[in-house]
Amino acid sequence: MRLQLQSDMASRTAFLLFFVNLFVSWVSATPLTGGRVLAVIEEQYDSTKYSQFLMDLKGRGYDVKLEPAKKDTLSLFEHGEKVWDHVILFPPKFKGYGPALTPQKLLEFTKLGGNVLILTSPSSIPEQVRELARELDIGLPPKDYITVDHFNYDTVSKSEKHDVILANRPAVSPAVHNYFSGKQDDLIAFRGAGHTLGNGPLLVPLLTAPRTAYTYDSKEDFAYAQDPWAAGTQMQLVSAMQARNNARITLVGSVDMFSNEFFDMKVQKPGSTKPQKTANKEFCRDVAAWTFGEKGIVKVNSIKHYLSNEPNAPVNPNMYRIKNDVTFEIELSEYDIDRWVPFKVPSGDSLQLEFTMLDPYYRVPLLPSSTSSNATTFTTSFKIPDQHGVFAFRVNYKRPYITYIDEKYSVTVRHFAHDEYTRSWDISGAWVWIAGIAVTIIGWIGFCALWLWSAPAAAKVGVKKTQ
């Protein structure tokens, strides 16, 4: 009886643990920045062409809903809040998108923290996308302009125009945060139109065109081949903009890059001995992961500042004294697909702390002091300057491809109190003056003693002579 009871309890416990683990896995599968994805695509046939890309999103925990561009009830907002966390815009069959996807509404969507992935094709760049690109300082080519390369093209597809160009995936660089890099010989097949970037500080290139590529009008080959719209590395194939609130907009010049055909395609460069499979699937996965906040998200876990030479000093006080020795610590984590990992600063770069009033008095490097399973602690120590007032600890780290870190904490710096000044006998330079005062006092006391204890001379008594 007892054994049967124990067996029943064990089975119930196992059943309960199963559902607990199932719930935990379901919760952990939800993407960090939200899983509601609106994919604006025209027909079921189109969704089948990109089924591998869409199924990969669903497999990573996203709830992808396909909607046509002209749907009357389509909306990005409800009661002033965004209905979706991310939007994917496939090129429309018609002239443009519906009234729910105007550039103003897309920008408003990003102001609320939404992310947008825009896929274009040379024959279908709606005016809404062009206007949005102008707002972002991105130059798009006219309709039916295509990018070709007569040196880096696919020989297997046998396209006479050489419009299936092969771009090398960005190489791994330890000097920058790069979430799109891969092996040096990875090839990405691209069929579309490149674009140019302005001088906007928030724009970042993700995939640059080869040096021998150029964009021209496909309808007038001879006339525009000698005067291309853009050429070389000034063209970008995939670009992105990260707003100041860390919302992301990515513009891709080729919707075919995300198709099943290009995912499974085998390509071969001129002069190569054998074909190889494209890296489109991995690269497009990285582009979507970065756009939707699965990569490049940096979180500040904690910030501490305290007196360096006092073991029991309070943490994060509101006031310091001039010439105090202070230690500052900041703990950072980085999100990688489904977990938090320690944040690493690339070699050659530096995470810095500014101690500012109106301008920085100090700008010192923050160095990693300890690392846990999911965070890195960066530390520095310095002496507060001989200047009283309201100062601020500030960490302002803004680099491409990662969320911006801008933390600022104000403190008051006071003068010495009347009983905190160094005594004069502790200052070696004052010993001469102290000795002079002592000699003067001792001399005065000696003089007074001699004067008081010295008896006056006795008067002589003489005999008066008479005649």
3-class DSSP assignment, residue 366: strand
Q: What is the pLDDT along the chain (467 residues), one digit of tens a residue?
A: 443 444 454 445 444 443 434 343 444 457 888 999 999 998 776 789 999 999 999 999 999 999 998 888 899 999 889 999 999 999 988 778 989 999 999 999 999 999 999 999 998 899 999 999 999 999 999 998 999 999 999 999 877 889 999 999 988 877 788 898 888 789 999 999 999 999 989 999 999 999 999 999 888 765 456 678 999 999 999 999 999 999 999 999 999 999 999 999 999 999 888 899 999 999 999 999 999 999 999 999 999 999 998 888 899 999 999 999 999 999 999 999 889 999 999 988 999 999 999 888 999 999 999 999 999 999 999 999 999 999 999 999 999 999 999 999 999 999 998 888 777 777 888 889 989 999 999 999 999 998 888 877 776 666 565 55
Give the predicted TM-score (pTM) of the model: 0.84
DSSP state of 162: -
Closest CA to 321 of 395, 380, 383: 383
Indicate if the alpha-carbon torsion angle 322, 326, 331, 332 is positive or negative.
Answer: positive
Q: Which of the four CATH numbers 3.60.15.10, 2.40.50.140, 2.70.50.60, 2.120.10.90 does domain 297-414 have? A: 2.70.50.60
In sequence order, the 6+-apart residues with CB closer than 8 A to the CB of 238 are 205, 206, 207, 250, 251, 252, 253, 257, 287
DSSP state of 426: G
Structure confidence at residue 10 (pLDDT): 45
Structure confidence at residue 18 (pLDDT): 39
Structure confidence at residue 464 (pLDDT): 60
In CATH, the architecture of 36-292 is: 3-Layer(aba) Sandwich (3.40)
What are the two backbone dihedrals, phi and then psi, of residue 117, each rounded to the nearest 5 degrees?
A: -115, 115
Indicate if the alpha-carbon torsion angle 166, 292, 248, 344 is positive or negative.
Answer: negative
Q: Where are the domains of the chain?
A: 36-292, 297-414
Q: Please give the C-alpha separations between residue 182 and each of 90, 178, 194, in angstroms, as whole numbers.
A: 26, 10, 21
Distance between CA atoms of 441 and 173, rounded to whole angstroms? 75
Structure confidence at residue 28 (pLDDT): 43
Structure confidence at residue 3 (pLDDT): 39
Residue 97 neighbours by CB distance under 10 Å: 23
Please name the residue that has the structure tokens 């992301």.
Answer: 248
Distance between CA atoms of 153 and 166, rounded to whole angstroms? 5
**Residue 103: what residue type?**
P
